[in-house]
Amino acid sequence: MRRARAPLCPTLARLGAALACVSAAACRRGMQSALDPAGPQARRIENLWWLFFYVCAAVFVLVMVWTLAAVYRARVRRRETATALDVTDEPELAPAPQTERALRNVVVGATALTVVILFVFLVASFVTGRALWEPADRTNQLTVEVTGQQWWWKVRYLDAANAQNVFTTANEIHIPTNTPVTFKLQAPDVIHSFWVPNLMGKKDLIPGQIAYLWLQADRPGTYRGQCAEYCGMQHAHMAFYVVAEPPEQFAAWLTRQRMAAAQPASASAQRGQQVFMNAPCVMCHTIRGTQAGSGIGPDLTHVGSRTTIAAGTLPNERGHLANWVADAQSVKPGSRMPPNSLSPEDLQALLDYLQSLQ
């Protein structure tokens, strides 16, 4: 002990620096960040977060100051008394009553403060929580049915008025800005969790149950979401994007998506369509307007218009698409997409066709 430095101070500084980093703006930006809200719900949660953060940080600093002061005080007191004291010196069995009274007051005070803080937290949490569940505007809501499955997201745009308008897509959800959108969530296999941090907290998809959630984006942008409940081998690669667009742009997207697939224009794309229909592709995928109508894999009617493939794993570019079609297991081991041995010409034709599905 005699050689002891003052070891706790740098630690505190380091902790402080790290704490400061959390609050730094640089740490907040992100396309999947709870602290970069793009909608009213995420914003409310963020406000609640900062309330908790600053109060908790203050409590933490107080506790650390108390601890370090006790250590520092002990040092000072030791210097005042003899240096000969060692660990074997007599314990204090009857501490001075006035010290004990003072300590008791401090402990009681600290506990009372804890209770008050917790009560404030409880009320703030309750108020925020209530606001998360009821959208301000309930009229004419768009309902999107999202089905999480190992390991991608099937997305259906429902339309109670006109069944013709219902269509299916995958892993990319477009929503109009400043409009609450209802999500009907379900999972046929295992538990998944639907989560777009920039917009709202998560909701678990429990097999055998249907869960509802609403979201609203108040600025256009692309927000990444990801499955947040461990769901097996490729849990890591089960992402999706929410694209928030101004209402008129969204309406255009909706109209386009409702249409059946375009007939291939080029000769190569036509050959690609033949390849698709003769290869195992047709066993699992749907392309509306063709005889491919299976619901096992993602609907590919407008696959060319999406920004990613394989549930947010790869950008939707020709090279990646080729890789994915030929050998999905090397990209996403365990996924349900089988390898396809196609001749180079067939593969190129197929890519032409898929990319033409805008």
Q: Which is nearer to another protein, 69 or 251 (CB)?
A: 69
Cβ–Cβ < 8 Å for 32, 224: yes
- Of the candidates 142, 145, 201, 279, which one interacts with another protein according to CB under 8 A? 201
Number of residues that bind another protein (CB under 8 A): 106
What element of type H or E holds 194? Answer: strand 192-196
**Min CB(326)–another protein separation in Å:** 19
**Min CB(229)–another protein separation in Å:** 6
- Of the candidates 40, 154, 174, 203, which one interacts with another protein according to CB under 8 A? 203
Q: Which is nearer to another protein, 21 or 251 (CB)?
A: 21
Range in contact with another protein (rule: CB under 8 A) among 12-20, 167-175, 277-285, 289-297: 12-20
**Min CB(265)–another protein separation in Å:** 33
What element of type H or E holds 283? Answer: helix 281-284
Report the amino acid identity of residue 83.
Answer: T
Helix, coil or strand: residue 51: helix
Asked whether position 227 contacts another protein by CB under 8 A, the answer is: yes
274, burial (CB in 10 Å: exposed 0-12, middle 13-18, buried 19+): middle
**Min CB(84)–another protein separation in Å:** 13
- Please identify which residue in the block is written with the tokens 């101070």: 9
**Min CB(316)–another protein separation in Å:** 14
Q: Of residues 286-345, which lie at the interface with another protein (CB under 8 A)?
A: 312-313, 333-334
- Please identify which residue in the block is written with the tokens 């000072």: 76
User: DSSP letter at 205?
Assistant: E
Q: Of residues 158-187, which lie at the interface with another protein (CB under 8 A)?
A: none
User: DSSP letter at 259?
Assistant: S
45, burial (CB in 10 Å: exposed 0-12, middle 13-18, buried 19+): buried
Q: Which is nearer to another protein, 126 or 280 (CB)?
A: 126
Q: Give the contact letters, 269-288, x = binds to another protein (CB under 8 A), - = no.
A: --------------------
Q: Give the contact letters, 110-139, x = binds to another protein (CB under 8 A), - = no.
A: xx--xx--x--xx-xxx-xxx-xx------
Q: Which is nearer to another protein, 141 or 330 (CB)?
A: 330
CA dist list (Å): 250 to 104, 179, 346: 64, 11, 35
Range in contact with another protein (rule: CB under 8 A) among 21-29, 136-144, 159-167, 316-324: 21-29
Instruction: Determine the Cα–Cα distance for residues 87 and 331; give it in Å rounded to an integer.
Output: 62
Instruction: Determine the Cα–Cα distance for residues 106 and 121; give it in Å rounded to an integer.
Output: 22
- Of the candidates 9, 13, 20, 85, which one interacts with another protein according to CB under 8 A? 85
What element of type H or E holds 351? Answer: helix 344-356
**Min CB(201)–another protein separation in Å:** 2
Structural tokens at position 320: 């990646």
- Of the candidates 13, 54, 73, 260, which one interacts with another protein according to CB under 8 A? 73
Q: Are strands 192-196 and 200-205 parallel, antiparallel or unpaired?
A: antiparallel
- Of the candidates 145, 165, 184, 211, which one interacts with another protein according to CB under 8 A? 211
